[in-house]
Chain A
Amino acid sequence: MHELLQLDASEAARRVRDGSVPAEHLAQAALAHARATEPRVNAFLDQDEAFVLEQARAVDRDRAAGKALGLLAGVPVAIKDNIHVLGRPTTCASHMLRGFVAPYDATVTARLKAAGAVIVGKVNLDEFAMGSSCENSALKQTRNPWDASRVPGGSSGGSAACVAARSAFISLGSDTGGSIRLPASFCGVVGYKPSYGRVSRYGLVAFASSLDQVGPFARSVRDIALAMKVMAGRDEMDSTTVSNPGPDYPAALAEDLKGKRVGVVREYFDRVPDRSVAAVCEAAVQRLKALGAAVVEIELPHADFGLHVYYIVASAEASSNLARFDGVRYGLRAAAENGIATYVNSRGEGFGPEVKRRIMLGTYALSAGHYDQFYGRAGRVRTLICRDFAAAFARCDLIASPCAPFAAFAAGAKADPLSMYLCDVYTIPSSLAGLAAMSLPAGFDAQGLPVGLHLAAAPMADDLLLASAHALEQDLLADRTLNLNRLPRGLQG
């Protein structure tokens, strides 16, 4: 592996800006590394070398012309394949979008490009971001770089795997109920779900509009802050983005943990079936304490209903959001004798089983006579969960918990949809409440697999969350016994 790929994005961009590393070299290194690792990892759905190199050369030309280069100058960035990159296919890992080429850049893509980022490719996901292992992709089976027999987590499995594998410095994912944080935990990288409204959703193929949020993956909190500085902020194409510009994320990292209050729900730790996973998370909480934070016990009485609420709300919105995939204007159009049959056949052939399950679930939940019993009631419980968090954040600044009940599991181990849904039990409540939340690599379980600590802060407290995570990260990295920065063993040798 090229030594440039060990740098973090901030340092790589600095070298491109000062001319010590041409963007093209960086891109070549990333492409060569992907060629070597992809047979084992399978993260990329689209990687066009000419497209990648042309972007890198454009950065180098701008530098030669004396133009000021952006914060991500020359940095290879991968994009989850449900976010548009102009001129490249967007598949959502579904047969439904066969042949679809994005006719516009998502706002986040445009902002990354404007900052000089080099888009190195589109990466795999569970079909339409519905899943927790990436196994619902209809196109490719991505593997965990730490152990090729295991899943990378989902739905943003490709985004987590390619950053863990060093094929991209930063990647974008989308998180609806844990789709950034779970794979980040499984792949040992930082995964950040911004507060709802911080980052534009324009150009993200919608799954559940009231929950979806685009966010970055990186190998350090510093790179996450850099990506947020580039991407976040009001977008006039997305009315759900907040109007204030938000904090200066990298500058906010200077804050330390002294005087911060960390809330923990005791049962979340006790309930974790794998004690070695729980131990990693408990040790991380002890470190927070050692760094000057106070640990307070909190209660979230309605959070246990989060999973139920989530599968009603998210499925209901999905059933409507996915109605546009009808075979009429783009994507797959199945042979049919008339208009109705075009819908039925195209959607029947195009969507995979999990997507169909959620569309049916959501359609039922919204049906006349069922609306109040399901969607209406779910909305009311969601409000109660939001109130739980509001009460908790009156007593603490951060909430720490395990990110998942377990580390990465073996491919095929969770064939039953319900057991798969339980992967997201710790991440879903913060999605329902629009919190800022993340997974931070905190150590390894008994089998040497990465374990992420879940940290959440009140809506719009992104700066506080990142600063706290950064302080903890520095402490973890300084502990040589943890060897947190080790290369995934699937890539060694």
Chain B
Amino acid sequence: MAHATAVDYEPVIGLEVHVQLKTASKMFCGCRVQFGAPANSLTCPVCLGLPGALPMANRQAVEFGIRVGLALNCQIAHRVKFDRKNYFYPDLPKGYQISQHDEPLCFDGELQLPIPDATGAPKVCRITRAHMEEDAGKSIHMDASTLVDLNRAGTPLIEVVGGPDLRSPEEAYVYLTTLKRNLSYLGVSDLSMEKGSLRCDANISVRPRGRQQFGVRSEIKNLNSFRAVKAALEYEIKRHIRVLEAGGTLHQETRLWDEEKLETRSLRSKESATDYRFFPEPDLNLFDVPRAWVDGVRAALPEMPEKRLLRFLHDYKLARADAEYLVGDRAIADFYEAAVALLDNPRKVAAWVVVELARELNERNCDLADLKLTPATLVELIGLQDAGRLNNITAKEVFRAMVESGEGAEACARRLNKLIERDDSAVQAAIAEVLGEFKDGAVADLRAGKQAAMGFLVGQCMRKLRGKANPKDLPALIEDAIRRE
């Protein structure tokens, strides 16, 4: 519980997000970019930082960077200039990182968040800059030694620096999910925090509400999930307020989030921060970014989610929450639209995707690509249901089996023995059996006008048929059979 304070404090949050770009090869050499290969197997003289080796810039990485910049509504620089950021670390083989200091590839952008600002319009967070750099290797700390894996060294990164525009941990969370959503449309990164292809540092300060000037900020590192970002910010806001309320002074510093203890602790103060001694990278020539290149990249950009959402609402008449879910992942939105192209019933398809498919993804904690469902098999399934050959319950059972097996809906339903046969002799036989069994009970009740007995008889028939009938059809058939007797 937060204690009531005399001053109403307002948090000011800005996030820096590193995005690993999944180019075929590394930023400055020909080594493959791949996660999980044997340690140091994806290396060469360049990314090992051997004496005499020189970098060559990867054009595809720059193009991916431009794609990210355009998707975040940034300006794109007219030339690519790299700088050296000098510091010593065992997993930094050259003793410097090739980065961009004073001329980022992308700058002055913005990201629209699906939450309202004070005026009710969608809140906008500025994107100060997004610059290219190379990743370092990985240090694996053992008891008495440190091992270094340089497979990751030289992997292209783009660092997206958001403006200090977020005002709560919740907004920070929304910013991250929105950023991830938009980047997922570009196909330039795996965007997995678990695998380290998405990393986030958070800058946070607090100030009395209404004041223009920023407070003293801390930078929080070691944030391994969006939830951790939120939790760490919540912790840090409380800590700042506590220090200020106690009359203390905050110092600009870098703090580490401890996932176990759920607290931050100081890593280093501003005074002890490294002087990176940036200077222009003399091993790489400046190269031009012709506007024709940028225009080409822009033209090839997919429809971004903000626009797609509006189209879904307008064209498909979907509920906003459903539409937001669909556009939240490009693969899901693409899947949805492919299905709608096959079956002109957008709301019905949406219901299946938003409820059933979402449940599968959630329960399995996986991506759409991990399921074997295709738009065609889903549409086939809906068709069986519409034709009365699967009922609401069996359709869902077949769905669950299909996402794993990859079968067509009818084949799967047949294998599971759920398909309602067009020949209804099985249904007639089941009805005859049930009417015989409950001749003195439910059947007599029904004849006596007790309509509730019908439900019981329908249930019994469904049980005998193991669900392979449409319960809506049964009352009429049962009445026919009784009349015939």
User: What are the interface flags for B44-57 relative to A under an 8 Å C-beta threshold, 1 for contact and 0 otherwise?
Assistant: 01001111111111
* Chain A contacts for B146, CB-based, 8 A: 339
Closest B residue to A204 using CB positions: B52
Question: Which of A238, A328, A366 has most chain B Cβ within 10 Å?
Answer: A328
Report Cα–Cα, A320/B146, bound state, in Å. Answer: 24
Query: Do A367 and B277 touch (CB < 8 A)?
Result: yes
Report Cα–Cα, A366/B96, bound state, in Å. Answer: 13
Which of A203, A240, A368 is within 8 Å of B52, CB to CB?
A: A203
* Chain B contacts for A210, CB-based, 8 A: 282
Query: Do B52 and A84 touch (CB < 8 A)?
Result: yes
Restricting to A194-244, which residues have a CB under 8 Å from any CB of B? 201-206, 208-210, 236-240
Interface residues on B, range: 20 to 34
Known contacts A104-B45, A237-B54, A339-B146; is-contact A324 B84 (Cβ 8 Å): no
Question: Which of B48, B96, B148, B279 has most chain A Cβ within 10 Å?
Answer: B279
Report Cα–Cα, A203/B51, bound state, in Å. Answer: 7
* Chain A contacts for B86, CB-based, 8 A: 319-320, 323, 366
B95 CB-CB contact with A under 8 Å: yes
* Chain B contacts for A92, CB-based, 8 A: 51
A401 CB-CB contact with B under 8 Å: no
Query: Do B95 and A326 touch (CB < 8 A)?
Result: yes
In the assembled complex, 29 residue pairs joining A and B whose CB atoms fall closer than 8 Å, in A order, are A90-B51, A92-B51, A102-B52, A103-B50, A104-B50, A106-B52, A201-B54, A202-B52, A202-B53, A203-B53, A237-B54, A238-B54, A320-B277, A323-B88, A323-B95, A323-B96, A324-B93, A325-B51, A328-B90, A328-B93, A329-B49, A329-B148, A366-B86, A366-B278, A366-B279, A367-B277, A368-B275, A368-B277, A371-B277
A363 CB-CB contact with B under 8 Å: yes
CB distance from B292 to the nearest CB of A (A): 20
B284 CB-CB contact with A under 8 Å: yes
B94 CB-CB contact with A under 8 Å: yes
Query: Do B88 and A237 touch (CB < 8 A)?
Result: no
CB distance from B255 to the nearest CB of A (A): 21
A423 CB-CB contact with B under 8 Å: no
* Chain A contacts for B95, CB-based, 8 A: 320, 322-324, 326
A444 CB-CB contact with B under 8 Å: no
* Chain A contacts for B277, CB-based, 8 A: 319-320, 363, 366-368, 371
Closest B residue to A327 using CB positions: B90
Query: Do A239 and B55 touch (CB < 8 A)?
Result: yes
Query: Do A240 and B94 touch (CB < 8 A)?
Result: no
Known contacts A239-B285, A320-B277; is-contact A329 B93 (Cβ 8 Å): yes
A5 CB-CB contact with B under 8 Å: no
Report Cα–Cα, A363/B279, bound state, in Å. Answer: 11
B356 CB-CB contact with A under 8 Å: no
B283 CB-CB contact with A under 8 Å: yes
Restricting to B119-155, which residues have a CB under 8 Å from any CB of A? 146, 148
* Chain A contacts for B279, CB-based, 8 A: 316-317, 320, 366, 371, 375
User: What are the interface flags for B263-290 relative to A under an 8 Å C-beta threshold, 1 for contact and 0 otherwise?
Assistant: 0000000000001011100111100000
Query: Do B88 and A202 touch (CB < 8 A)?
Result: no
* Chain A contacts for B148, CB-based, 8 A: 328-329
Report Cα–Cα, A106/B88, bound state, in Å. Answer: 26
Query: Do A326 and B52 touch (CB < 8 A)?
Result: no
CB distance from A202 to the nearest CB of B (A): 5
Query: Do B49 and A324 touch (CB < 8 A)?
Result: yes
A343 CB-CB contact with B under 8 Å: yes
CB distance from B43 to the nearest CB of A (A): 11
Query: Do A239 and B54 touch (CB < 8 A)?
Result: yes
A59 CB-CB contact with B under 8 Å: no
- Kindly list the 3 A-B residue pairs having the minimum CB-CB distance in the complex, ordered from nearest: A323-B95, A209-B282, A366-B277
Report Cα–Cα, A366/B94, bound state, in Å. Answer: 17
A97 CB-CB contact with B under 8 Å: yes
* Chain A contacts for B54, CB-based, 8 A: 201-202, 206, 237-240
Restricting to B284-316, which residues have a CB under 8 Å from any CB of A? 284-285
Query: Do B84 and A206 touch (CB < 8 A)?
Result: no
Report Cα–Cα, A322/B283, bound state, in Å. Answer: 14
* Chain A contacts for B285, CB-based, 8 A: 239-240
Report Cα–Cα, A329/B50, bound state, in Å. Answer: 9
Report Cα–Cα, A339/B90, bound state, in Å. Answer: 8
* Chain A contacts for B282, CB-based, 8 A: 208-210, 240, 317
User: What are the interface flags for B396-418 relative to A under an 8 Å C-beta threshold, 1 for contact and 0 otherwise?
Assistant: 00000000000000000000000
User: What are the interface flags for B86-101 relative to A under an 8 Å C-beta threshold, 1 for contact and 0 otherwise?
Assistant: 1010100111100000
* Chain B contacts for A328, CB-based, 8 A: 90, 93, 148
Report Cα–Cα, A297/B86, bound state, in Å. Answer: 44
User: What are the interface flags for A99-130 relative to B under an 8 Å C-beta threshold, 1 for contact and 0 otherwise?
Assistant: 01011101000000000000000000000000
Query: Do B88 and A239 touch (CB < 8 A)?
Result: no
Query: Do B283 and A240 touch (CB < 8 A)?
Result: yes
* Chain B contacts for A330, CB-based, 8 A: 50
Report Cα–Cα, A204/B52, bound state, in Å. Answer: 5
Closest A residue to B139 using CB positions: A339
* Chain A contacts for B49, CB-based, 8 A: 324, 329
